[in-house]
Structure 1
Amino acid sequence: MLRAPTLLLLLTCVACAPSALIRPDDASFNAAQRELARDVRAAPPAAHAEPPAPDTVLWLQAESLYRYRFDVEAERPTASYVAQLAAAATDFAPFLVAASSEGMMDLRLHAYDGAAQLYEALLARYPNSAYRPLALYRLGWAYRNTLTEGFPRDSAGAFELLQREYPTAPVASLVPQLQAMPWRSQNTAAALSLIPGAGQLYVGETANGLVRLGISLGFAALAVVPLVSLAHERHLRWIPILLSTAGFTGLQVSYTAAYQDAQRAVLQFNERQEAAFSTAHPEAP
């Protein structure tokens, strides 16, 4: 049976969860809708057939996921950190579920994985589709943000295939310029996040990265120093043990939070580069 403090903490985590609804004034989402409408208007004539061709349907499915964008907050809600602390300290199943659930953030991050999967399905099922060069172009961008392993190619591979198969296509002429655009890798950010804050430094969020690094170093000191003092004293005392436990718990949470925030930072960095490229090249699809 749950004790009153545990139940209260769990209810607090649930009550403080962010809304899943997209705000009417969300600029990123509204811009994505305009881009999708433009994609439909600019689609090949087959897109306006009745009923639409199968490759058109698959293309629009992929485009919808690719354009699934809304503003991602740089900081996680307080309730999320509370849930992570509770999960790390108690190993209580509901807290573990709450701590591992990213909600809308998770959907936002994995939208590119879904889009890449659908674009690749289009290439495989309809190799002669009029959408093929556009799908390769989209894949070149989408693979810069994917998190899932097992895709048949990467960003560079998609762009290279586009240039090889359709050297005279308008989208192929854009490849040299867009390959010169800086971008960041989710895999690199994940590897760097073994040191909390390093992933943020990788994408240029210096203040964010230094704060996270400082917090993790503080927790590391809290975890180690009491144990060192106990080793020197050779006498078991509960206060140093509790302090050290709190330090290890905080270090675990700071690592998890920094890793998840680095994913968000890479996503936003790459999307800013894409937006800048689209502004500089209005002819880009």
Structure 2
Amino acid sequence: MRTSAAPTPVRAREQADELESRPSSLQPVLLLGLLLPAAAAMCYPFRHRIYTAAAGLSPVPAPNAQAPQPARFTYRPVLDPFATPAAGLKGPGATSTARVLALTALDVHGDDSLVVVPRPDAITLFGLAEDELLDDAPAGLFIPGNLDAALAYLETELSIREKEGTTQGRRLLLVADCAQEAKRITALLARHPGAVFAVLLGQWTGDQATIDDEGRVEAPPAVASNFPSHLPAMSRTEARDRLLKVLARHKDTQKPPPRRRSTPRRS
């Protein structure tokens, strides 16, 4: 009976070498397995920056970035002094609103309008002296001696226009305390619609807007649409400064409108 021969020494050495080489061949695999998660973690911020940049976002805050500051500005609502034939005003803020309307007419509509303010009202609204702006009459503004003289001028001017058939004359704006002349003013406005307008303080018999000391406006529907819900206050000092600036700016660019002399009506 033949028995199998024992492995030769050469074959035994080859097997031993193979066994010893297996653990060493796993080392790169194990090292690679450890390095891949670390590399992925390092690459994530870079990928995140690429994606956010593509989306229009900046992942890195700007140096010394500060919270946005709220814009600060002064807002004055646009008022149209010619929006209604007669704007009656009352309440603690009525005088301030009359100043704003008169200055708006002078500043914005000075090229095609004439503001008529009796001297007592010019003193109340703008702090003008008794003889101020008397000799050097500014364009766009007429300051007669009193309300009677102001109404006499308006009646004469509009009567002449009516006789001459003039339809393109300057719009006339009376800014005054109506005093005891409410009926006379009402007749004037009714006879010349679209040619004469009025901003009236005092005991006006028509619709009136009430302005309180905070500038809040309450008015009947016929008048409410001509005013915002809130109006800024304007002091007499501020109104005077603005008036003089507006008149100085228009002094060299406008010619004074014709003013026909009229004798005040005496009662």
| TM score, norm. by length of structure 2 | 0.25
Q: Normalized per residue, which structure has more helix? A: 1
Larger Rg: 2
Higher relative contact order (CA 8 A, sep 6+): 2
